[in-house]
Amino acid sequence: MDKKQILLAEDEFTARKLLEFQLKRLNIVFDSVETGADALEYFRQGSYKLVLLDEYMPGLNGSEVAREIRKIDPTVPLLAMTSDPEAIPRLKEAGFREVFVKPLHGKVHLDIILGYLS
């Protein structure tokens, strides 16, 4: 199975569409899902270099998905997105290597993602 570069989980559609647009422009191959449960399902069935998870999603949130992914693959880099800056310490403790605070204006998040992929 081909190893895709990124698994993206984001329930809010404008954020998801914008990220998809940006990733496509960078020629990054990705899967994009809307829920934590779907993210976990995709991760179990696929292979990814990087997982980008929104924290606040219906059903399983980003931290819960990350915990399950860690059981499957302890090494894959996990990146979180949140609109709550106060959640950063908690998300770091949960094992996310990077935490992006939404809205993702600018290109810093893309540079960081590219850094992990390279």
Partner 1 sequence: MIILYSMIMIQLPELVGKIQNDLSAVGIQPTILHAYTDPAKRCTIHDPDRIAKVLTIFLLQLESALQGSSCALQWDYREGTLSATLQGRFPPERETVLTRTRVSLQCLGGTLTVEQEGCQLTLPLPTIPPPSSYTPKNPLEAFLEPASLKPPKNLTGRASEGTPSIFDPTVLQQACPDEEFSQQLLEDFLSHCKTLLLELEHLITHGEDLVKIHRIAHSIKGGGMNVGAFRLAEVARWMEQQAKAGRTEGLQEALNCLKDEELLLESAYREYYGQEANPPGRG
Distance, C-alpha 14 to centroid of its chain: 15
Contacts of 33 (CB under 8 A, 6+ apart): 7, 8, 9, 39, 42
Confirm if 8 and 33 have CB atoms less than 8 A apart.
yes
Which of 12, 70 has the CB closer to partner 1?
Answer: 12
Choices 30-38, 39-47, 66-74, 100-108 (CB under 8 A): range interacting with partner 1: 100-108
Check binding of 118 to partner 1 (CB under 8 A): no
Which of 18, 37 has the CB closer to partner 1?
Answer: 18
Choices 7-15, 40-48, 59-67, 69-77 (CB under 8 A): range interacting with partner 1: 7-15
